[in-house]
Amino acid sequence: MSVTTNLPHRHKEGNVFALEQLPESSSFEPVAQVFKHLSDAARCRIFLLLCHSEECVLNIATIMEMSSPAVAHHLRLLKVAGLVTSRRVGKEVFYRAADTELVRAMHRMIEEVMHLSCLQPSS
C-alpha cells in the first residue's frame, strides 16, 4: 500500500509521487553537510575560485581581501567537506577543488544559481 494513501490531504487523483522512493531524512545528512560547508558567501567564492585555479593561501587572501588565517579557516572547512584538496611543494601549499562528481555538481550549481558562465573547465 502506498504511503500517499495515508496522507491527510489528497490533492491529486491517479498516480501520485512514489513517496516510498523518498529516502529517510538521515540519508540526506551528506547533502546537508555539503550545504553546511558552503553556507557562507566568502567560502562559496573561494570554492568557485579553486574550481578554476590552483592557488596558495596568500594569493587567495589577496584575491579575497581577507587575512590568511581567515582564508585558512575557510580552506579547512572546504577540505573537511571533501570539496578542496591541497598539495605541498616545498614550503608552499597549493589548494584546488577536488576532482569529484560532487565538486563538479556544486561548481555547476553555483554558476547556475548566479547565472555565471564557467570561467573555464575545472579539468
Nearer to Zn ion, 87 or 108 (CB): 108
From 12-20, 64-72, 78-86, 113-121, span contacting Zn ion (CB under 5 A):
113-121
From 7-15, 34-42, 61-69, 114-122, span contacting Zn ion (CB under 5 A):
114-122
- Report the nearest approach of Zn ion to the CB of residue 122 (Å): 6
Q: With b meaning 16 or more CB within 10 Å and e meaning fewer, what string describes 3-18?
A: eeeeeeeeeeeeeeee
Binding mask 60-99 for Zn ion (x = CB under 5 A): ----------------------------------------
Nearer to Zn ion, 109 or 118 (CB): 118
Phi, psi dihedral angles at 78 (to 5 degrees): -65, -35
Grid coordinates in use for 46?
573561494
Q: Does 118 bind Zn ion (CB under 5 A)?
A: yes
Nearer to Zn ion, 21 or 123 (CB): 123
Contact indicator for 83, 97 with CB cutoff of 8 Å: yes
* Amino acid at site 56: C
Interatomic CA distance for residues 80 and 11, integer angstroms: 43
Q: Does 105 bind Zn ion (CB under 5 A)?
A: no
Interatomic CA distance for residues 86 and 79, integer angstroms: 8
Q: Does 31 bind Zn ion (CB under 5 A)?
A: no
Grid coordinates in use for 19?
513517496
* Residue ranges binding Zn ion (CB under 5 A): 118
